[in-house]
Amino acid sequence: MDESAYNKKTKTIVLVLLFLTWIVNYLDKNSMNIAIVAISKEFQLNPTQSGMVISSFFLAYAIMQLIGGWLTDKHGARKVILVSLLVWSAFTVFTGFAWSFASLLVIRFLFGIGEGSFPSASSVALAETFPKEERARAKGVLTSATAIGAIVASLLAALMIKHVGWNVMFYFFGVLGFLFFLLLWKYLLPPGQSAQVKRPQVSMKKVLKNPLAWKLMLIYFGISMVNWGLSSWMPSYWINVRHIELVKTGMISIIPVVFSLIAINSSSWLMDKMGAGKEKFIIATGSLIGIISLFLMMNASSVTMAVTFLCLANFGMGLSAVVLAMPLKYFSQEAMGSTVGIMYFGGQIAGTIAPTLLGYMITLFNGSYDAAFTLLIIALVIPLITCFFLRLQQTQNEKGEKVA
């Protein structure tokens, strides 16, 4: 696309709408983590059944990362985003109408099918809207929305469930999604292009054969193991090990997110300013900070020091999250969706296994969290090692070696 096609107004509108849509995405997704308590009581679900309800979403969500990326390359970001948003909003509303354990499993699985295409499609939308030298910063803004969305979802869901009930909460969040569907339908158009533009054919086989795509997936897998592991088990760690009250754990959880947001946007800015191939040093630095900080956190002598080291660990994870912007810089636009889908697939696989695996480690060692945290430290070795095998001298397009 010609650089003149990019204009400030379009970039601002698209970035703001995608940022807010990511927050809606997390409202619909993370609110179930809060609502499952009330739902379990109403439907008399045991802990295993409650876990299955949550896992049914992640299973579908992981599967759709690969499919959604391929669909985005084939049909374009706009179409996939609109269909994804429409489907997940519909099943968010349907969640409020659930009447049994079986209905919850089916509805949340289909909800995951709907949401699963959005991550890849939103990344491609940025590539269609921003020039290469600005894409990392734009991706950093969207990555920030996931952290902000998780906090907003937890706080808003708790308030709504308390005052209006979980059913009404899901109705409201679903209707909010329909509103953003209308906004994106009107404003999300690639600059200088029509919605009916013919797209090049994409060879998924060539994408799957590209070693860089799988290296990025490994890096994101290791980072996601830590992110999902900490988000799942830190609340119980504060309560059971550090003996902090439940209300205070909610306040504590906000502080590390601030450090993560600072690191995410800082690393994205650095990526746009640094030369090709230097991103691996950001990933390595972030991983090393995370490894050291997690070790110090699990051995901290006080709550204050534990929180401090957790903040540093989140800062490291935020630096390493620059990997999410790398496909926008190093892959041809025709195959970008499929590449991002492979990377996000690794992240969702980590999200599926990390909470269960850490729980097993805690049970195995009689309530001690040391083994679980050690597992997270080992997980960070994966991106630390993998990043040094990245060969990133110039973009695929500059080399004339498109992956599709």
Angstrom distance (rounded) from CA 314 to CA 320: 10
Residues 137-148 have a mean pLDDT of 86
201 or 175, which is more confident: 175
* pLDDT over 60 at 242, yes or no: yes
Name the residue ranges covered by the structural domains of the chain: 1-199, 200-404
Question: Which are the contacts of 237, defined by CB distance < 8 A and separation ≥ 6?
Answer: 369
Answer for the pair 362, 368: CB distance below 8 angstroms, yes or no: yes
For the stretch 21-32, pLDDT in tens is 999 998 888 888
- How many whole angstroms separate alpha carbon 114 and alpha carbon 81? 10
Q: Which residue, among 141, 166, 147, has the nearest Cα to 156 in the 3D structure?
A: 166
Predicted pLDDT at 215 = 92
Distance CA(209)–CA(47), nearest Å, equals 41
Predicted local confidence at residue 194, as pLDDT: 42
Model confidence at 47: pLDDT above 60: yes
Question: Is residue 402 very low, low, confident or very high in pLDDT (cuts 50, 70, 90)?
Answer: very low
Contacts of 41 (CB under 8 A, 6+ apart): none
- Given a contact cutoff of 8 angstroms between Cβ atoms, the answer to whether 121 and 3 are in contact is no
Separation CA 357–CA 380 (nearest Å)? 16
The tokens describing 402, both together, are 């498109």
Of all helices (H) and strands (E), which one includes residue 394? none
Q: What fold characterizes domain 200-404?
A: Growth Hormone; Chain: A; (1.20.1250)
Determine the distance from the C-alpha atom of residue 73 to the mean position of all C-alpha atoms in its chain, rounded to a whole number. Answer: 20
pLDDT tens digit string along 257-316? 889 989 988 888 888 777 677 889 999 999 999 999 999 999 999 999 999 999 999 999
3-state secondary structure 211-280: HHHHHHHHHHHHHHHHHHHHHHHHHHHHHHCCCCCHHHHHHHHHHHHHHHHHHHHHHHHHHHHCCCCCHH
d(CA 346, CA 65): 9
* Alpha carbon distance 193, 350 (integer Å): 37
Lowest mean pLDDT among 53-62, 316-325, 378-387: 53-62
Question: What's residue 315's pLDDT?
Answer: 96
Contacts of 163 by beta carbon, 8 Å cutoff, 6+ apart: none
Among 111-125, 147-161, 308-322, name the one with the lowest average pLDDT: 147-161
Cβ partners under 8 Å of residue 293, min gap 6? 309, 310, 312, 313, 315, 316
- CA–CA dist 330, 320 (Å, integer): 17
As a whole number of angstroms, the distance between CA 5 and CA 344 comes to: 29
With tokens 């706080």, the residue in question is 155
Interior angle at CA 44, CA 41 and CA 48, nearest 5: 100
Contact (Cβ atoms closer than 8 angstroms) between residue 207 and residue 339: yes
CATH of domain 1-199: 1.20.1250.20
Share of the chain above pLDDT 70, in %: 89
Q: What is the pLDDT of residues 187-197, one digit of tens each?
A: 887 545 544 44
Is the pLDDT at 77 greater than 50? The verdict is yes
Answer yes or no: same fold for 1-199 and 200-404: yes
Q: Full-prediction pTM beyond 0.75? A: yes
93: tokens are: 């509303």
Token pair listed for 196: 């009916």
